[in-house]
Chain A
Amino acid sequence: MKKTRQACYYKGVWKWNGALMAFPGIVLIVVFIIVPFFMNVGYAFTDYNTASDVPNFVGLANFRNMANDRDFWLVCTNTLKLILTYVVGGNVIAILLGVMITNVSRKFGNFIKTAIYFPQLLSMVVVGFLWRIMFSYNNGPINHFLGWIGVPADLLPQWLGVPALIIPSISTALIWLIAGYYSIIYHAGMMNIPMSYYEVSAIEGANKWQEFVHVTLPFLAPSITINTVLLTVESLSAFAVPASMTGGGGPGRYGTTLALWSYTTYFNNHQYGKAIAISVILGLFAVVLAFVELKILLKKEIGNS
């Protein structure tokens, strides 16, 4: 009886201490993220102007203005394309890198981990400009290499000039940037898979591919879930890399995402209400997409299906 009372007492103290320790962080998140977000939502229904005194309520005018813009559907399509290419491509590359890190020797694995994590240290604008040079039509290394292996000059692709290639080019830059980070998460997930499952699969005569599909991947489901959600949110908020790669949105806005469109609408057009409406839609989109992804992917995790 005494032990139980003691256990309850310490549990209560620990909960209080935990809450108090988290309190400053919660205050910061509320003050700098939650409150501004809801203020933003409020401004989306007004004719807010940086230089005006009192914004007036205008109902859904900003949202209508946004939906009637000639570029609205194009920008939404660009954003969806970016999500698909970035999330799928990012996960695939990160899993492959994770497998590579897990299966090489410790000494070599540490070197590879450092090398593939290196892009994370660069600023997003630097990454954008770097890949802009890489994809340059006349002087980029990629087209130089293609020319060297025999691709005729008039068949060299304009990576940042042809509408169909702009978003995949941006995705490539973003995947290069984050692959190292997410591969570490997958590597950690793989290290937690019990060896007994691999031993059983070896006894059953499974080859490497079957081992990967039937043992590794199912155990990686929680990592896949969290990475997919994080990559989705990241792709929605991608701004610096697309802006610096395309010089503000690309020809015909084929490289403009919702986040970039919100920025240019605010600072270039001075259409504050419309820009805020775009950011609100972007936020709602992120919440809905993350919710749907979690609902679907959590069911696939071992123990949840």
Chain B
Amino acid sequence: MKKVLALGLVFCLLALTVAGCVPAGTAAQDAPAADATATDASGDVTKGELNVAIAADIAPDSVTEWTKMFNADYPDVKLNVMLEDASNYEVTIEPLVAANELPDVVGIGCTDWFGTLADKGYLLDVSGTLGWESQLDVLKNMYTSRNGVHFAVANGVETELLYYNIDQFEAAGIKSVPTNWDEFLDCCQKLKDAGFQPLAVAGASPNNLGHSFISFGIAHEIVASGFDPDWNTKARDGEYDFSTPEWQAVLNKAVVLRDAGYFQRGYESADLYECMRAVTAGEVAMTFQGSYQTGNLLVEGGANIGITTVPWNDKGKDQVGIVIAGDGYAMGKNSSGNVDLATKFFNYVSFEHADVYQNMSGTIPPWQDVAKDMPNAKVNEKLQAAWDASNALSVKSLEPQQAFTAIVYEQVKQFVQAVILGNAEPSQIGDYLNPAQKEYLATLN
């Protein structure tokens, strides 16, 4: 009897194990496809099942809102929603790519890796969709892969800005915001003399450092100077030389700030949020951040913060605008076999109801004609003014994460951090980036 019971238990456990190994949806896939998608009288697709993956970090309620709205408009469509981490899309997407289960609509970042996925056919071409046609040309360029696949619509456009404490500026006797490098150094010194900490720097966050100092350096030393405005296109081939004097100078100004003691006390171990907290609490006067951090810096009850463009230009020369493509929405190699329905949801979140995300996040809309395509956009007034000023600059430069390949950008971040912490010299940039390019070439498969 005991043996029978033991055998029965073992059989049940085995059956459970095997049952758990059956992939979800197998039954649906085996079922006849006749009722899987149905059309209404007009020919629109209104029934079926969609798999979508959307980031929920910055405006998590937007996902809930879209889901509710879409379910209300298309009650016969089953929406399977997966949440992504916007700070690292790859962690969610790579396993899905490896398992060949990329969702129908997926949130992505604007990096070369996603361009590579598009070239390999994992992301569909979205040209012709409303969102693609309406977005800014610079965003179209950034979301075009090496082989010309137009693979995503951005959820916003961003830039790098200088956030400063208006009250501390007044107390230090600074009458106007700096518009060039000399004026910026003068500001820093006046703030320091008045007893304030001039600049908050996230020394412990290579990600944050990779957005700021080096992007300003590249913008002015490489792009605006005329040395190599198309450097990022050439660097994609993996044989670009970063050890020229112009590249060796990109971080010189950051070192000047460091050596003058303008960084806040403890900057070596400060992360991004510590940085922003210090500014909103009035402990530090200024910080360079992406415009997407406006919501975290202009907080109710916090310090009186102003926003201006980045004064990294030499006196007599123009400032350069840094363009950052917001994260995007793409269409994955269709996992549910229903491209029309997937396109419907794609248009829903990327264009028709993109205002849901914009209103919650406060990002700058990505459209050429915002008044026509997103009349109810809500952007902070100070941010809008700063964005307009940045957008009006005649020369633009790409943000490093979106200009370098992933492997090289990883070394860029490490290099910038090493320089800021005094462990490397700006002239060593070639030692970091040139070998990384060779590694990048080796991964092309």
A247 to B414, CA, bound (A): 13
Residues of A contacting B439 with CB < 8 Å? 65, 269, 271, 274
A-facing residues in B349-385 (Cβ within 8 Å): none
Residues of B contacting A33 with CB < 8 Å? none
A123, CB-defined interface residue at 8 Å: no
A136 to B275, CA, bound (A): 12
Of B9, B91, B207, which one neighbours A21 at CB under 8 angstroms?
B9
A-B contact count (CB 8 A): 118
Closest to B15 in A: A24
A252, B90: Cβ atoms under 8 Å? no
Q: How many residues of B contact A (CB 8 A)?
A: 49
A158, CB-defined interface residue at 8 Å: yes
A50 to B197, CA, bound (A): 46
Which of A159-167, A177-185, A199-207, A227-235 binds B?
Answer: A159-167
Closest to B16 in A: A24
A55 to B94, CA, bound (A): 16
B-facing residues in A115-142 (Cβ within 8 Å): 132, 135-139
A128 to B320, CA, bound (A): 39
A247 to B443, CA, bound (A): 26
B274, A23: Cβ atoms under 8 Å? no
Closest to A268 in B: B410
B98, CB-defined interface residue at 8 Å: yes
A246, CB-defined interface residue at 8 Å: yes
Residues of A contacting B203 with CB < 8 Å? 161, 251
A110, CB-defined interface residue at 8 Å: no
Give the residue among A16, A138, A246, A253 with the most B Cβ atoms within 10 A: A138
Give the residue among B270, B435, B445 with the most A Cβ atoms within 10 A: B445
Which of B164-172, B285-293, B416-424 binds A?
Answer: B416-424
B116, A51: Cβ atoms under 8 Å? yes
B-facing residues in A37-84 (Cβ within 8 Å): 47, 49-52, 55-56, 61, 65, 70-71
A-facing residues in B12-54 (Cβ within 8 Å): 13-14, 17
A264 to B90, CA, bound (A): 11
Apart from A158-B266, A251-B421, A269-B406, list 19 A-B contacts with CB within 8 A: A28-B17, A49-B443, A51-B120, A55-B445, A138-B278, A139-B274, A160-B269, A161-B204, A246-B204, A247-B205, A248-B206, A248-B207, A251-B268, A266-B94, A268-B88, A269-B410, A270-B90, A271-B443, A272-B443
Interchain residue pairs with CB less than 8 A apart (21): A20-B7, A24-B10, A51-B122, A56-B445, A65-B439, A70-B435, A138-B265, A139-B274, A153-B265, A160-B204, A161-B268, A247-B207, A248-B207, A252-B414, A252-B423, A264-B410, A266-B94, A269-B406, A270-B90, A270-B407, A272-B443
